[in-house]
Structure 1
Amino acid sequence: MENALLLKAIIANAIDGIITIDERARVESINPAACKLFQYEPEEVIGNNISMLMPQPDRGHHDEYIGRYQKTGHAHIIGIGREVMGLKKDGTKFPFRLGVSEVQYSGRKIYTGFIHDLSREKQAEETLKEYASQLEELVEQRTISLKHMVDELRSAKEEVSQSLEKEKELGLLKSRFVSMASHEFRTPLSAVQLSASLIDKYAAPFDNPNITKHVAKIKNSVANLTGILNDFLSLEKLEAGKVEASFQQFDLVKLSEEITEEMQLIAKQDQNIIYQHTGTESMVRLDPNLLKNCVINLVGNAIKYSGENTFIQFNTEVSKGMCTITVQDNGIGIPETDQKHLFEAFFRAHNTGNIPGTGLGLNIVARYASLMSGRIDFKSDVNHGTIFTISIPLS
């Protein structure tokens, strides 16, 4: 009695549905889980043929299935552990896994069906299939997109390769032209410069101010054109990687004094270059040619962009393993909007007007300083002048 009550409690509280039928396929019992699945009350099902819980075509062939099971002992269609469809009271279908067993009870056969609802599993499978389908579609789209991208990249690569070849050819032509033009122009310029000096010398006894004035113009024009050619030639060598720093020991003060004396000769009327060195050390190990070019360029700009009757301060300092060179003027200054472009090749500030120049000088200075592991900085105010500072480590 106690075992029967326990078995009844187990069946009543089972998660899966449990239905028993007799040999005529009439329902003898149905547990609460099965009632909930099929949406029936027990009295609506008990005594009726089990086929009421089956959709077509299983309903029409149910008796045939039962007869076959009785003869062979195998549930061909109903199946043990097979997936079948159930029919709810409201007409909706749902999938479930059915297990059937035969029980001998009181001299007769009872068939017990164990029903495990598969609705959630099937829904999850459908969701996964949908995700898989979407993923396959997305992968296909991405594959096509990547194929197009690869084709475009291949085409772009070919175009870039062709462009690089053309650019390389143009670079070589440009390099040859600049080199040739620079050297070819130097010869007539030297002749013009020499002729102007001779005219100046031979005209001295006549003391004619007009001759002196025009000869001076010729010399200035020649000097400007020579400077332009030098800038182009320097840039061409830098672009071609032909410039390398050649470090050697030299006296910074002596070199600076020579530069000051040389630049004072081309200064404007009553322009004075004031040179001063700070510190007791003057011997440095740098590239004297690169350094000289940097200083000449900066002092030349100070002369060019400052007026007459002005001072240009040129300072050097050697201390704490650093060589510092400063050139300061009180000229036109650099507009703030132009300062970020100052070291770009061919760039000139908007306030330079008719003052001659190529826009290459500061670009070359910055690159020469970089070749010596140094850098160039500046501060500038319009109409108040500019301070350029070159800092180079001496390690």
Structure 2
Amino acid sequence: MKNAALLNAIIENAIDGIITIDDRGLIETINPAACKLFDYTPEEVIGKNVSFLMPPPDRTQHDEYLRRYQHTKVPHIIGIGREVMGLRKDGSVFPFRLGVSEVQYSGRVIYTGFIHDLSKQKQAEDQLKEYASHLEELIDERTISLKETVQALQKAKEEVSVSLEKEKELGQLKSRFVSMASHEFRTPLSAVQLSASLIDKYAQPLKSENISKHVARIKNAVGNLTTILNDFLSLEKLEAGRVEPSFTPFDLVKLAEEITEELQMVAKQNQNIIYQHTGKISTISLDQNLLKNCIINLIANAIKYSGENTFIEFTTEITDSACIITIQDNGIGIPDADQKHLFEPFFRAHNTGNIPGTGLGLNIVARYTSLMKGKIHFKSIVNQGTLFTLSFVTS
């Protein structure tokens, strides 16, 4: 009795549905879990053929399955793990896994069906299939998009290659033109400069202020044109990557004194360049030509943007670890808003007015300094002056 009560308790409280039928397929018992699955009360199903809990075609074939098994002992509905469909009271169907066992009980054969609901599992599988299908669609879309992107990139690459080739050709043409123009212009400019000097010499006995004034204008104009040509030629070489610094030892003080003497001759009236060197060492290893260009450019700017009766301070200093070069004037200064653009090519500060210039000089100075692994800094206040500092590591 205890075993029977225990078995009954297990069946009544089982999570899965349990149904027993006789050899004619009539339902003898059904547990609460099965009643809940099919939405029937025990009274509504006991005594009825189990096929009424099945949707077509299983409903019409069930009795044939049972007779075939009883005759051949080869199971069709008997077994574990077969997936079938169930029919609820409201007409809806649901999937479940059916396991059927043959049981000898009280001298007769009964069949016990164990029913495990697969609704949630099938729903999850359907969702997974839907996600997989959606993922495949996304992959197809992304694949198409990627192919289009690759094709677009390939086309862009081809266009860029064509553009680069054209740009290369234009660059070569520009390089040849700048070089040709620079050399071709130099010859007539030299002739003009020489003629102006001769005119000035032959006119000296006449002591004509007008002649001297106009000769000075000619010389000044030739100097400006020569500077422009030099700037464009230097920029073209930099852009073409044809400027390679040559580091060789030279006497910085001697170079600075030569530059000071040369530029003092073109300074404005009563405009004095004061040079001073600090330190016992005077030899430095840099590219002498590039450094000379930088210093001349900075002092020429100081002359150009400062007035008459002013001083331009030019200093050099060599220590065990660095070389410092400064050029300071008390000219028009650089507006704060313009200072961040100062080293850009063709940029000129807004307060330069009619003072001639290409806007290339400081760009060239900065690039030459960088090629020599140096740095350029400046401080400037409008109407008070500007200080430029070139610094190079020597150790």
TM-score range, shorter chain: over 0.9
Deviation at 1:38, TM superposition (A): 1.8
Deviation at 1:78, TM superposition (A): 7.1
The reply to whether residue 81 of structure 1 matches residue 59 of structure 2 is no
The reply to whether residue 364 of structure 1 matches residue 369 of structure 2 is no
Moved more, 332-341 or 262-271: 332-341
Check conservation: 1:235, 1:364, Cα contact below 8 A.
Answer: yes
Q: Deviations over 1:7-66 (max 9, x none)?
A: 223322322211111112111112222222222232332222212321223223322222
Give the Cα separation in 1 of the matches to 2:268 and 2:371: 32
Cross-structure match for 2:122: 122
- What is the RMSD computed on CA atoms of the aligned residues? 1.6
Moved more, 150-159 or 268-277: 268-277
Secondary structure, aligned partner of 2:25: coil
Give the Cα separation in 2 of the matches to 1:341 and 1:72: 100
Opposite residue 199 of structure 2, the aligned amino acid is I
Opposite residue 379 of structure 1, the aligned amino acid is K
Aligned counterparts, 1:196-211, within 5 A: 196-211=196-211
The reply to whether residue 7 of structure 1 matches residue 4 of structure 2 is no
Give the Cα separation in 2 of the matches to 1:381 and 1:67: 111
The reply to whether residue 300 of structure 1 matches residue 300 of structure 2 is yes
Opposite residue 115 of structure 1, the aligned amino acid is I
Opposite residue 231 of structure 2, the aligned amino acid is D
Cross-structure match for 1:354: 354
Cross-structure match for 2:50: 50
Deviation at 1:77, TM superposition (A): 5.6
Cross-structure match for 1:329: 329
Deviation at 1:308, TM superposition (A): 1.5
Aligned counterparts, 1:6-25, within 5 A: 6-25=6-25
Opposite residue 152 of structure 1, the aligned amino acid is A
Check conservation: 1:65, 1:78, Cα contact below 8 A.
Answer: no
Give the Cα separation in 2 of the matches to 1:281 and 1:12: 107
Opposite residue 24 of structure 2, the aligned amino acid is R
Give the Cα separation in 2 of the matches to 1:271 and 1:319: 30
Cross-structure match for 1:35: 35
The reply to whether residue 261 of structure 1 matches residue 238 of structure 2 is no
Give the Cα separation in 1 of the matches to 2:73 and 2:356: 111
Check conservation: 2:331, 2:385, Cα contact below 8 A.
Answer: yes
Give the Cα separation in 1 of the matches to 2:328 and 2:75: 106
Secondary structure, aligned partner of 1:349: coil
Give the Cα separation in 1 of the matches to 2:79 and 2:385: 100
Give the Cα separation in 2 of the matches to 1:90 and 1:385: 98
Check conservation: 1:75, 1:100, Cα contact below 8 A.
Answer: no
Check conservation: 2:66, 2:77, Cα contact below 8 A.
Answer: no
Give the Cα separation in 1 of the matches to 2:34 and 2:316: 100
Cross-structure match for 1:147: 147
Deviation at 1:382, TM superposition (A): 2.2
Opposite residue 48 of structure 1, the aligned amino acid is K
Opposite residue 8 of structure 2, the aligned amino acid is K
Moved more, 15-24 or 129-138: 15-24
Give the Cα separation in 1 of the matches to 2:340 and 2:351: 15
Unaligned runs of 5+ in 2: none
Give the Cα separation in 1 of the matches to 2:377 and 2:224: 26
Cross-structure match for 2:111: 111
Q: What TM-score do you get using the length of structure 1 for normalisation?
A: 0.96
Q: Deviations over 1:70-117 (max 9, x none)?
A: 223344367642211112223221111111121111121101111111
Cross-structure match for 1:102: 102
Opposite residue 308 of structure 2, the aligned amino acid is E
Check conservation: 1:78, 1:84, Cα contact below 8 A.
Answer: no
Unaligned runs of 5+ in 1: none
Aligned counterparts, 1:306-345, within 5 A: 306-345=306-345
Opposite residue 33 of structure 1, the aligned amino acid is A
Opposite residue 387 of structure 2, the aligned amino acid is I
Deviation at 1:299, TM superposition (A): 0.7
The reply to whether residue 388 of structure 1 matches residue 383 of structure 2 is no
The reply to whether residue 271 of structure 1 matches residue 271 of structure 2 is yes
Secondary structure, aligned partner of 1:193: helix
Give the Cα separation in 1 of the matches to 2:85 and 2:278: 100
Q: What TM-score do you get using the length of structure 2 for normalisation?
A: 0.96
Deviation at 1:323, TM superposition (A): 1.0
Opposite residue 335 of structure 2, the aligned amino acid is P
The reply to whether residue 243 of structure 1 matches residue 269 of structure 2 is no
Moved more, 202-211 or 79-88: 79-88
Check conservation: 1:375, 1:391, Cα contact below 8 A.
Answer: yes
Give the Cα separation in 1 of the matches to 2:320 and 2:122: 80
Give the Cα separation in 2 of the matches to 1:42 and 1:296: 111
Opposite residue 311 of structure 1, the aligned amino acid is F
Cross-structure match for 2:67: 67
Opposite residue 60 of structure 1, the aligned amino acid is T
Secondary structure, aligned partner of 1:69: helix
Q: Deviations over 1:359-382 (max 9, x none)?
A: 111111111111111111122222
Give the Cα separation in 2 of the matches to 1:130 and 1:198: 97
Deviation at 1:183, TM superposition (A): 0.7
Give the Cα separation in 1 of the matches to 2:227 and 2:189: 11
Secondary structure, aligned partner of 2:281: coil
Secondary structure, aligned partner of 1:386: strand
How many residues are treated as equivalent by the alignment?
395
Give the Cα separation in 1 of the matches to 2:374 and 2:52: 95
The reply to whether residue 214 of structure 1 matches residue 214 of structure 2 is yes
Check conservation: 1:81, 1:97, Cα contact below 8 A.
Answer: yes
Deviation at 1:133, TM superposition (A): 0.9
Opposite residue 223 of structure 1, the aligned amino acid is G
